[in-house]
Amino acid sequence: MNTTRLFLGLVAVLGVTLAGNPADADELVHFESAPVKLSPFRIRKASEQGENLPQPQGTPLLGYLSRPQGSGPFPAIVVMHGCEGMRFSVKDLWPKRLVSWGYVVLVVDSFTTRNINDTCQSYLPDRVFDAYGALNFLSKQSFVDAQRVALMGFSAGATATLEGTKIEGNEQLMDHKFKAAVAYYPACAGSQGDATVPILILTGERDNWSPTGPCRKRLANLSDDSPPIELNIYKGTYHDFDAPEFTAGRRVFGHIEKYNPDAAEKSIRSVHTFLQKYLSN
């Protein structure tokens, strides 16, 4: 099949409109991660000792902003990439799709300003603060409804999404809060417990990089007071199942990454329904 025809076919299946795109896509913006606030104990000790503490600073970051036409205010989505950094489906396909649904989108680049190529064999805990820095940035924009912003992550970005929306986590230190969260194939923590917002988790049955067991365990441990967490597990599906750039499949550090068009389409419908439910007026 002709390559162009194949790509356009994928676009049609995934619900992305290229012609007449309403977005001012990929506007490069600059903002800072949310600063790590000093604890009350640290502030008190400094005061007792006559110490002047420097004002906490965030890390300079880059982001890619896309928005629907019009003045808004629109609901918005903060998008967190995976451990390999910006890939086509996260930086291009998902923003176009979300904008076509009526959302402002800010894709956070956590690597460029830190001179990081990837974190696939390491962990970057600062990404939770990156997400809230993006939320702070969006909250200052007149075309964004700051009360209707969701956090959405993929792989390592999804793990940061869960970390940033767990009860008694760093979320409690933030001035602005997310309304909901979507996590594609995260590394769940079975002991993580309750969430602060409704969450949709989408993952593959055969994903051995982000196995389903800990996700099931977390759901089993939720209290009656927790916001709902929905877990969608797609049978016969591997990591990165929503990403058409992995149509041929590949193996990374012993883990299979492979696109599954049927699971991708089902998951996209679930995301659309979930966001409509929790970000609607």
Read off the pLDDT of residues 96-148 as tens digits, 9 standing for 90 and up.
999 999 999 999 999 999 999 888 888 788 899 999 999 999 999 999 999 99
Q: What is the CATH number of domain 23-29+59-279?
A: 3.40.50.1820
Domain boundaries, the chain: 23-29+59-279
Give the whole-angstrom CA distance, residue 114 versus residue 59: 8
Which residues contact residue 78 at a Cβ distance below 8 angstroms, ignoring those fewer than 6 apart? Answer: 106, 108, 131, 134, 135, 138, 149, 150, 151, 152, 178
**pLDDT, average across residues 176-203:** 95
Residue 245 has pLDDT above 60, yes or no: yes
What is the per-residue pLDDT for 10? 42
Query: What is the model's pLDDT at position 21?
Result: 38
Q: Is the pLDDT of residue 23 over 50?
A: no
| DSSP symbols for the chain | --HHHHHHHHHHHHT---TT--S-TTEEEEEEPPP-PPPHHHHHHHHHTT--PPPP-PPEEEEEEE--SSS--EEEEEEE-BTTB--HIIIIIHHHHHHHTT-EEEEEE-SGGGT----TTS--TTHHHHHHHHHHHHHT-TTEEEEEEEEEEETHHHHHHHHTTBTTSGGGG-SS--SEEEEES----TT---BSS-EEEEEETT-SSS-SHHHHHHHHT--TTSPPEEEEEETT--BTTT-GGGTT-EEETTEEE---HHHHHHHHHHHHHHHHHHH--
pLDDT bucket at 14, cuts 50 / 70 / 90: very low
N-terminal to C-terminal alpha carbon distance within the chain: 44
Residue 5 has pLDDT above 50, yes or no: no
Segment 10-31 shows an average pLDDT of 53
Mean pLDDT of 244-271: 92
pLDDT of residue 109: 95
Whether residue 1 has pLDDT greater than 50: no
11 pLDDT higher than 80: no
Region 245-269: what's the mean pLDDT? 91
CA 172 – CA 120 distance, rounded (Å): 28
Of the listed ranges 121-135, 181-195, 217-231, 266-280, the least confidently predicted one is 121-135
pLDDT in tens, 158-184: 999 999 999 988 888 888 999 999 999
- The predicted structure's pLDDT at residue 17: 36
- Mean pLDDT, to the nearest integer, of 189-194? 89
* 248 pLDDT above the threshold of 90: no
Contact between 258 and 238 (Cβ < 8 Å):
yes
Render pLDDT for 39-98 as a digit per residue (tens, 0 to 9). Answer: 565 556 556 666 665 666 789 999 999 999 999 899 999 999 999 999 999 999 999 999
**What pLDDT is attached to residue 161?**
97
